[in-house]
């Protein structure tokens, strides 16, 4: 007979995960940093997205389809020093 919590949380296959033995937390930290650097950008982005959806669904009890940016961008304004100045000689001529 299975317990109710076992049926709700299926076991993930983690048999392919490597096993390491470390003596200090500094060794663990160094190893994890190397793992993340080796993983690449796409894997880190995927992991960040999974953490965000797990938080959204598990902690906030919201539907995953509701996960989105909370504010829309209406307009973007640049400071004057970022806009290149147009000189008179660079203006197009309207001679025809």
Q: Is 46 inside a domain boundary?
A: yes
Q: Is 83 inside a domain boundary?
A: no
What's the 3-state SS for 5-50? Answer: HHHHCCCCCCCCCCCCCCCCHHHHHHHHHHHHHHHCHHHHHHHHHH
One pLDDT digit (tens) per residue for the chain, 96 residues? 455 555 566 778 878 888 889 999 999 999 989 988 898 888 888 988 888 888 888 888 888 787 776 666 677 777 777 766 655 555 565 555
- How many alpha carbons fall within 13 Å on the CB side of residue 72? 1
Confidence at residue 11, expressed as pLDDT on a 0 to 100 scale: 79
Confidence at residue 84, expressed as pLDDT on a 0 to 100 scale: 66
Q: Is 47 inside a domain boundary?
A: yes
What range does the domain containing 52 cover?
39-66
Instruction: Report how many domains make up the chain.
Output: 1
The 3-state DSSP class for residue 90 equals helix
Spatial CA neighbour of 64 closest among 49, 48, 44 = 49
Confidence at residue 88, expressed as pLDDT on a 0 to 100 scale: 52
Confidence at residue 24, expressed as pLDDT on a 0 to 100 scale: 95
- For the entire predicted model, the pTM comes to 0.42
Q: Is 55 inside a domain boundary?
A: yes
Place of tokens 């076992």: 6
């Amino acid at each position: 007979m299975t317990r109710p919590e076992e049926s709700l949380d299926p076991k993930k296959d983690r048999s392919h995960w490597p096993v390491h033995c470390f003596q200090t937390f500094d060794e663990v930290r160094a190893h994890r940093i190397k793992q993340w650097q080796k993983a690449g950008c796409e894997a880190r982005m995927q992991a960040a997205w999974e953490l965000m959806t797990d938080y959204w669904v598990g902690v906030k009890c919201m539907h995953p389809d509701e996960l989105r940016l909370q504010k829309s961008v209406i307009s973007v304004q640049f400071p004057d020093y970022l806009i290149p100045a147009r000189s008179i000689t660079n203006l197009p001529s309207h001679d025809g």
